């Protein structure tokens, strides 16, 4: 069975007999997998990062996968701001950037208190224009090359003038996503194998006292929490043991999309009605149809 049903509630979200499609493969490598899928709604295509090969790929129905951008500083997570501009977490440059309409790049964040960021990983934009991103510390660089000695979760204010460190007690903060009403921010920790949930305060910071484990995604099959998205009814989708986990708003594990790859690296809703769930693995791109639309990302206009 391609979709492992643990609860009858899964059928409201995705059919257990739904076809899991492979849309492309051969990406990734030792320096990073396929990552950061992002639906470009007004032009009906999907972008995703091929980190190891330092390029951004494009998938479109009937056209397959082609190279969209070369030399991306091995970017990882992708999203769009309220004006529909591409926002990217860049590994090699260790910064968060925005791609302008004329092709120029604006640096949104590259340091905290005068110290260079570690390796920005994933990013999400709130409805007020503020930008939240994860910045894990990684052993892949010699310790003396790091200026920060912690993994951080940050918020960049809507005017881009203030970068606030929200949390520094994650081992490997990775995917992050808001609930539909933006009252809660989910952040997963790949090393600890779980998703934590935080209430969002009026000023955009996180209520530390509300910190709780939303779900533990460890198991006896390969895969760790990586990437995360939420649908319009508040269900959560995240990489985990055995594939791509689907959780209800209370954190109950409803079922797993078992795509056969060792790890789910990230995911994105897309398609004309936002009911196509795209996902990346270490070296492939796939999709599955859902019955509930995902939360859309901004588009131009």
What percent of the chain clears pLDDT 90, i.e. is strictly above it? 93
Mean pLDDT of 112-120: 96
Closest CA to 178 of 136, 214, 150, 143: 214
For residues 75 and 93, the answer to whether their CB atoms sit within 8 Å is no
Per residue in 162-202, pLDDT tens? 999 999 999 999 999 999 999 999 999 999 999 999 999 99
pLDDT at residue 144 tops 90: no
Give the Cα separation of 178 and 206 in Å (integer). Answer: 12
pLDDT band at 215 (very low <50, low <70, confident <90, very high): very high
Mean pLDDT of 151-169: 97
Mean pLDDT of 123-132: 98
Q: What is the pLDDT of residue 145?
A: 72
Q: What is the pLDDT of residue 146?
A: 81
Q: What is the DSSP letter of 200?
A: B
SS3 content of the chain, % helix, strand, coil (to 5): 5, 50, 45
Give the Cα separation of 56 and 45 in Å (integer). Answer: 13
Give the Cα separation of 211 and 289 in Å (integer). Answer: 32
For residues 24 and 64, the answer to whether their CB atoms sit within 8 Å is yes
C-alpha distances (whole Å) from 42 to each of 127, 267, 279 are: 19, 19, 20
Q: What is the pLDDT of residue 107?
A: 98
- Specify burial of residue 294 (Cβ count, 10 A radius: 0-12, 13-18, 19+): buried
- Structure-token pair, residue 160: 């881009």
Q: What is the pLDDT of residue 301?
A: 56
Which of helix, strand or coil describes residue 138? coil
> Residue 148: phi, psi to the nearest 5?
-100, 145
Q: What is the DSSP letter of 193?
A: T
Question: What would the CATH number be for the domain defined by 3-289?
Answer: 2.120.10.30
Per residue in 12-63, pLDDT tens? 999 999 999 999 999 988 778 999 999 999 999 999 999 999 999 999 999 9
Per residue in 231-280, pLDDT tens? 999 999 999 999 999 999 999 999 999 999 999 999 999 999 999 999 99
Length of the chain: 301
- Structure-token pair, residue 95: 């910064």
Q: What is the DSSP letter of 42?
A: G
Q: Where are the alpha helices (DSSP H) in 94-241?
A: none
pLDDT at residue 143 tops 70: no
pLDDT at residue 70 tops 80: yes
Q: Can you give the pTM of this predicted structure?
A: 0.96
């Amino acid at each position: 069975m391609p979709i492992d049903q643990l609860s009858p509630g899964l059928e409201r979200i995705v059919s257990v007999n739904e076809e899991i499609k492979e849309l492309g493969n051969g990406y990734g490598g030792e320096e990073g997998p396929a990552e950061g899928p992002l639906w470009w709604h007004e032009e009906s295509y999907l972008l995703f990062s091929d980190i190891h090969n330092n390029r951004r790929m494009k998938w479109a129905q009937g056209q397959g996968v082609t190279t969209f951008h070369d030399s991306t500083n091995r970017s990882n997570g992708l999203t769009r701001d309220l004006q529909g501009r591409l926002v990217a977490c860049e590994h090699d440059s260790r910064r968060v950037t925005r791609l302008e309409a004329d092709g120029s790049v604006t640096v949104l964040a590259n340091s905290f208190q005068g110290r260079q960021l570690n390796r920005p990983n994933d990013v999400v934009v709130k409805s007020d224009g503020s930008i939240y991103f994860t910045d894990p510390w990684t052993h892949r660089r010699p310790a003396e090359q790091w200026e920060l000695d912690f993994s951080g979760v940050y918020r960049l204010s809507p005017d881009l003038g203030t970068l606030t460190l929200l949390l520094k007690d994650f081992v490997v903060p990775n995917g992050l996503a808001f609930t539909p009403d933006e009252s809660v921010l989910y952040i997963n920790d790949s090393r600890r194998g779980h998703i934590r949930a935080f209430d969002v305060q009026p000023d955009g910071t996180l209520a530390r006292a509300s910190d709780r484990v939303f779900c533990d995604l460890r198991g006896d099959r390969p895969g760790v929490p990586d990437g995360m998205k939420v649908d319009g009814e508040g269900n959560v989708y995240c990489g985990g043991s055995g594939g791509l986990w689907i959780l209800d708003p209370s954190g109950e594990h409803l079922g797993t999309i078992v795509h056969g790859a060792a790890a789910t690296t990230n995911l994105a809703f897309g398609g004309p009605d936002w009911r196509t769930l795209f996902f990346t693995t270490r070296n492939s791109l796939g999709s599955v149809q859902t019955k509930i639309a995902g939360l859309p990302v901004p588009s131009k206009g």
